[in-house]
Structure 1
Amino acid sequence: MIPLSDDNPTLRTPVVTYLLLAAIGATWVFVQGAGLNPLVLVSSVCNLGLVPGELTGRAPLGLAVPLGDGLSCVVDDEAINRYTPLTSMFLHGSWGHILGNCLFFWVFGNNVEDSMGRLRFLVFYVVCGLAAAAAQVVMDPGSPIPMVGASGAISGVMGAYLILYPRVRVNMLFIFFIIFRIIPLPAWAVLLWWFGVQIITGLPQLNQLESQGGVAVWAHVGGFVAGVVLVKLFENRALTSQRTGWRHRLHPDHP
């Protein structure tokens, strides 16, 4: 299932959402070379991505992790490592990775920003991203594998959306072989299904003795939980009330 849009208009232009999307895109193009040069891509992931074992000191210095095309990432103790929980939020590993993240953020981010206000939303986004990074480090503290992506912070936005607008319809694209169909579903069903997939995917990793590459699902879980827990702290209730009243006037039959 792929989210395409929601039936949840905004009152204000989501400036921060646009700026974050622009920052993610600019980082992909100008820092990571749009993935066209493997050396540039691997260097950015290795040097600016979050390596749990570097933060905790539990990964042996000099350990080389293959990242494809004969390239490796070597564990080090450079000063930049302490900033990677933040820098890693703006990096991605492929076109599919960045486009998927941006699509989810496009669908859910504007309404959450509209309910918090711009500055609160920016702080909320960063805090959820840091919580996601912390969750991944806690779950795999010795991993020498770099973690990159905005998905932890975006997961927090999705958790906030679940609390703020659980019954709003989200238009989901279903693909089954050659059949394409758009089906509107309540946000609570979409988001709880997504969260359940992350949990189910992450549970087998708990039994693995060695770190392996792949999707950092525990970052997704940590970001989502942070969003659920923190949303009411960051919510601007005056904005939410204004949005709710306006939405009901536009769609009196909608929840």
Structure 2
Amino acid sequence: MFPIRDHNPSGRTPYVTYALILANVGIFVSYWGLFSNPRALNAFFADYALIPALVTQGDGVTGLLTSMFLHGGLTHLAGNMLFLFIFGDNIEDEMGHVRYLGFYLACGLIAGLAQVVSGPLSPVPTVGASGAIAGVMGGYLLLYPRARVDIFIFLIVFFKILPIPAWLLLAVWFGLQIYGGFGARAGDGGVAYWAHAGGFIAGLALTVPAWLRKGGPAYWRRTDGHPPHPAGQYDSARTHIPRTGRRK
């Protein structure tokens, strides 16, 4: 189950979101050849990934920033860019291009610090834009909790596109990060759950001023949690799968 689009069109071209996607893809392509050489890849990550143990010692602080633009594989990159593409345009539309870029980077830095705090002695490199993107998702939850998001459900031979409210998708996602964070052992490799959770909370907190300027709770009452403009319409009820007749 994963989101494929929202019904919340933006009012301006999200240049920063597009630029961030291009930057992440371009940087990934630049070191793609290292994946065939694990030793070289590990050396590259040692220089540019976030390594909590080094930060705790006072070294490798630049990894808090550079790690945001690195990914551990094609699936990792594609998943992150999909989430950024779906949720980033509306936050950029709300905040403006420059503020949105600062917001994105701040969420990523806070997410990295959360990962360091969760495992200060971990020597495992952490890479990915997901902490910053989690902040974008946190801001989206505060501003547009009932915006519709289409999710793609795939169960072996069954698949369907189903629209659900954003708050449900994002709350489930956040709950899974908290569950995974408490279930994972500090220092283990895998998903950086606390970076995700930290970025999400940071995004919520940093979006509060924009939410208050709109009226805070009064804004929710006016819009009932929906975007303040007409929602985009898609034919998500049908999958257009041809039916086959029963053979006699």
After TM superposition, is the score higher than 0.5? yes
SS of 2:162's partner is strand
Q: Provide the aligned C-alpha RMSD in A.
A: 2.2
**2:180 maps to 1:201:** yes
Structure 1 segment 148-227 matched on structure 2, within 5 A: 148-205=127-184, 208=185, 211-227=187-203
1:32·1:40 contact (CA, 8 Å) conserved in 2?
Answer: no
Contact 1:52 1:143 in 2 (8 A): yes
With structure 2 as the length reference, what TM-score do the two structures score?
Answer: 0.83
Alignment of 1:228 with 2:204, yes or no, is yes
Q: How many residues align?
A: 223
Could you list the runs of 5+ residues in structure 2 that have no partner in the other structure? 220-225, 234-248
CA contact (8 A) 2:153 2:159 kept: yes
Task: State how far apart, in whole Å, the 1-side matches of 2:53 and 2:90 are.
Answer: 36
Letter in 1 for 2:208: K
Amino acid paired to 2:107: C
Instruction: Measure how far apart 1:237 and its partner are.
Output: 5.0
Change beyond 3 A, Cα 1:217–1:191 = same
Look up the match of 1:21.
21
CA distance in structure 1 between the partners assigned to 2:28 and 2:209 by the alignment = 32
How far has the Cα of 1:34 moved from its partner? Answer: 7.5
Unaligned segments of structure 1, at least 5 residues: 58-76
Change (3 A) 1:235 1:113: farther
> Partner amino acid for 1:25?
V
How far residue 89 of structure 1 moved from its aligned partner, in angstroms, is 0.1
Give the structure-1-normalised TM-score: 0.81
Name the structure 1 match of 2:30: 30
Counterpart check, 1:247 vs 2:230: yes
Instruction: Sort the Cα spacing of 1:32 and 1:40 in 2 relative to 1 into closer, same or farther, 3 A.
Output: farther
**SS of the counterpart of 1:82?**
coil
Q: 1:225 is matched by which residue type in structure 2?
A: I
CA shift, 1:147, in A, is: 0.3
Offset at 1:192?
0.2
Q: Which position in structure 2 is the counterpart of 1:145? A: 124
Measured after TM superposition, the shift of residue 236 of structure 1 is: 9.8
SS at match of 1:10: coil
2:43 is aligned with 1:43: yes
Q: CA deviation at 1:195?
A: 0.3
* Aligned residue type for 1:153: A
- Compared CA separation, residues 86 and 234, structure 1 to 2 (3 A): farther
Q: Judging changes above 3 Å, is the alpha-carbon distance between structure 1 residues 124 and 196 closer, same or farther for their aligned structure 2 residues? A: same
- Indicate the larger mover: 219-228 or 43-52: 43-52
Contact 1:32 / 1:41 at 8 angstroms: preserved in 2? no
Deviations, residues 127-176 of structure 1 (Å, cap 9, x unaligned):
00001001010110000010000000000000000001000000000111
Q: What does residue 99 of structure 2 align with?
A: 120
User: SS at the partner of 1:247?
Assistant: coil
Alpha-carbon separation, structure 2, partners of 1:34 and 1:108: 31
SS at the partner of 2:201? helix
Secondary structure of 1:212's aligned partner: coil
Match of 2:53 in 1: 53
Worse-superposed segment, 1-10 or 40-49? 40-49
String of CA shifts for 1:15-69, please: whole Å, max 9, x gaps: 0000000110111011343845544433322210000001112xxxxxxxxxxxx
Q: What fraction of aligned residue pairs are identical, expressed as a percent?
A: 46
C-alpha change, 1:2 and 1:162, in structure 2 (3 Å) is same
| 2:236 counterpart residue number | none
> Where does residue 65 of structure 1 map in the other structure?
none
